Structure 1
Amino acid sequence: MGSLVTASLQLGYHKRLMLFSERANPALAGAIAGRLGIEHGPITLKAFSNDEVYCRFDESIRGADVFLI
């Protein structure tokens, strides 16, 4: 008789938690990030002449839980 072979598949919640902040309150964002034990993510912000803001996340946020401050 052959031996019994079992295979397991690990299931779990493995999303990343990411925090980004704009210009309004960087001290608050830093305090929240410190409390959570994470760094706030890099972001590129540019202001256009018509006062609209361009925002770009400088790393992939795919599949992550993202919070904006």
Structure 2
Amino acid sequence: MQTWQHPGVRFAYVINERASSITTLHHDAARGTLFSVATVSTLPDGANAEENTCVGIAASPGP
């Protein structure tokens, strides 16, 4: 599992390598916890997840 947290924003992104998905987590600073917001597949419909793994997340700052 790899994680990446966007600087200045209260979100972290987790790669679920074997599941070929990415989970977005929200950071609750008051409680010091992370909770899941959404999990999305990194594969197109019909792709075989058994033959694929995730490697990394590339992100850029928004406007």
TM-score greater than 0.5 by the shorter chain = no
Report the structure, 1 or 2, having the larger helix content: 1
Report the structure, 1 or 2, having the larger strand content: 2
TM-score by length of 2: 0.27
Higher relative contact order (CA 8 A, sep 6+): 1
TM-score by length of 1: 0.26
